[in-house]
Amino acid sequence: MAEAAHHQVVHPVGLPLGPSVAGFGTDGIRGRVGTQVTPALALQVGYWCGQVLPPGGPVLIGMDSRSSGPMLVAALSAGLTAAGREVWNLGLCPTPAVPGAIRRLSASGGLMVSASHNPPHDNGIKVFGASGAKLSRAQQQVVEAGLAGVPGKASAAQGFSGVGRVRDRSDLLADYQRALVASVMGRRLEGCKIVLDLCWGSAAACGEVVFQALGADLTVLHGTADGERINVDCGSTHLDQLRQAVLDQGASMGFAFDGDADRMLAVDGKGRVVDGDQILYLWGSDLLAKGQLPAQRIVATVMSNLGFERAWQAKGGVLERTAVGDQYVHQAMEQMGAGLGGEQSGHILSARHGMSGDGLLTALQVATLLHQGGQSLADWMDSSFEPYPQTLVNVTVPDRQRRQQWQQCDPLRLAVEQAEAAMAGEGRVLVRASGTEPLLRVMVEAAEQGLVDHWAGHLAGQADQHLNAG
């Protein structure tokens, strides 16, 4: 008995949480606070991140405005310090401030406590490695194995590594602000009427300050940090208030951010939504004209509109597509040496500006490029591409295996092939399992709305019938 006890592994942050524990989705670990995302989970995530991140430098932690943020930051800090790591706490900040500081300070990595565009009762943890990129899948798997207690994949034998210390480094936000202002290369915004929707979230930490520093004539909505109201009927997922304010103010443009400010959607002076595809096309066109876009290449995801792809090809550009998620865009950009990439949802990555999705940086680039050229966003949109009609239907499929392996369902797979053949290159079908919800997403895009509606309805019906069959 004593012999057995002698060989037991010591778990300095408690026993593993078991196989049902939340793992990394398309953008970190995310879920309901108190059930899926708990202090116990954060404690262990901190500890295991402390084991996989390279030694030497501090580990940085930032957070958005959610009320649960300080609790989770404290638990993550406890886990990291139990792994012997020094923790630097940035406090309230946009997500891109963390990878920016990692690169600037040669830190070992960083974590961001945020559930992005999710409602206030959710929270999450994004993890960045020493390069400032999201943690590699191999490193994520070690952390997940540690959380679940998978034998052999992760070992707690290192045990208690001594106590690291925690330092308040809220001063680092000022470095991020300076980098944002420097990114526009002296371009100014005097006389430019702009509306900002800061979403009660991370953008409230510095969004107003940086636009004011460049002389913009500002109207600010939801401009303070409020953890109970973050993302509620505002920000990049709810654009009605921004649209109304732009029209009421006669503004040149408006920008809305999500909870952690790593993405942005815009509204032009006519009230039209400007999504990530439009931003990539417009910013990409400017870089193309200046000879600053390597191989004329833009990286986007499978969700990007076919109208965008065709218009970009007509300019002589190349569009490379990846899986959904800015981490995949990031990887492809690095592999291909691409200068610009992003997602329809408004995550835009610029190689010249550090390769992190950054809503504030994107908004500043768009605003100053336009204002310098004497254009409004509406002028720019008038010269842009016409998106193909697109419909996305979410089909609830509770069975995870059936959802993820839908290609093995012959009737659905054949129906997709039939749809693609019928559209004859003038449309496309995308079927994918959600990474965060029990949904199968069926997206159809074509030159004509009638075709889109017909095939989206047909394919969703086939998915429901065959994947949910008893």
What is the mean pLDDT of the segment spanning 2-13?
Answer: 56
Residue 154: what pLDDT? 58
- Say if residues 87 and 118 touch (Cβ distance below 8 Å): no
Q: Does domain 390-467 have CATH number 3.90.600.10?
A: no
SS3 assignment for 74-136: HHHHHHHHHCCCCEEEEEECCCCHHHHHHHHHCCCEEEEECCCCCCCCEEEEEEECCCCCECC
Q: How far apart are CA 223 and CA 200, in angstroms?
A: 6
Q: Name the residue among 148, 146, 122 with its Cα closest to residue 37.
A: 122
What is the mean pLDDT of the segment spanning 406-418?
Answer: 95
Residue 11: what pLDDT? 76
Q: How far apart are CA 134 and CA 126, in angstroms?
A: 8
Q: For 231-282, write each residue's pLDDT tens digit.
A: 999 999 999 999 999 999 999 999 999 999 999 999 999 999 999 999 999 9
Q: Structure tokens of 345? A: 């949802």
Environment class of 108 (CB within 10 Å of its CB; exposed 0-12, middle 13-18, buried 19+): buried
What is the mean pLDDT of the segment spanning 92-101?
Answer: 97
| Fold match, 9-170 / 175-382 | yes
Task: Spell out the domain ranges in the chain.
Answer: 9-170, 175-382, 390-467
Q: Structure tokens of 340? A: 């610009």
Query: SS3 of 282, please?
Result: helix
CA torsion sign for 84, 86, 92, 97 is negative
Q: How far apart are CA 169 and CA 132, in angstroms?
A: 18
Cβ atoms < 10 Å from Cβ of 56:
10
| Reported pTM | 0.91
Q: Which residues pair with 445 in a beta bridge?
A: 390, 428
Indicate the pLDDT class of residue 152, thresholds 50, 70 and 90.
Answer: low
What is the mean pLDDT of the segment spanning 137-156?
Answer: 83
Residue 155: pLDDT over 60: no
Q: Which residues are catalytic?
A: 116
Mean per-residue pLDDT over the chain, rounded = 93
DSSP category for residue 267: E
Q: For 424-462, write each residue's pLDDT tens digit.
A: 888 999 999 987 688 999 999 999 999 999 999 999 999
Q: How far apart are CA 89 and CA 111, in angstroms?
A: 10
Q: For 170-204, write each residue's pLDDT tens digit.
A: 999 999 999 999 999 999 999 999 999 999 999 99
CATH class of this structure's domain 175-382: alpha beta
Q: Name the residue among 309, 121, 135, 151 with its Cα closest to residue 228.
A: 121
For residue 443, what is the enclosing H or E element? Answer: strand 439-446
CATH class of this structure's domain 9-170: alpha beta
What is the mean pLDDT of the segment spanning 205-225?
Answer: 98
Q: Which strands sit side by side in the sheet containing 217-221, from one edge to the other?
A: 217-221, 193-197, 253-257, 264-268, 273-274
The string of DSSP codes covering 4-65 is HHHHPPP-TT-S---TTS---BBTBEEEEBTTTB-HHHHHHHHHHHHHHSPSSS-EEEEE-S
Contacts with 60 (C-beta within 8 Å, 6 or more apart), sequence order:
87, 88, 89, 90, 98, 101, 102, 105, 107, 109, 110, 111, 169, 172
How far is C-alpha 350 from the geometric centre of its chain's CA atoms? Answer: 14
- Say if residues 340 and 319 touch (Cβ distance below 8 Å): no
Residue 2: pLDDT over 60: no
Residue 5: what pLDDT? 41
Q: For 289-328, write each residue's pLDDT tens digit.
A: 999 999 999 999 999 999 999 999 999 999 999 998 888 9
Indicate the pLDDT class of residue 393, thresholds 50, 70 and 90.
Answer: very high
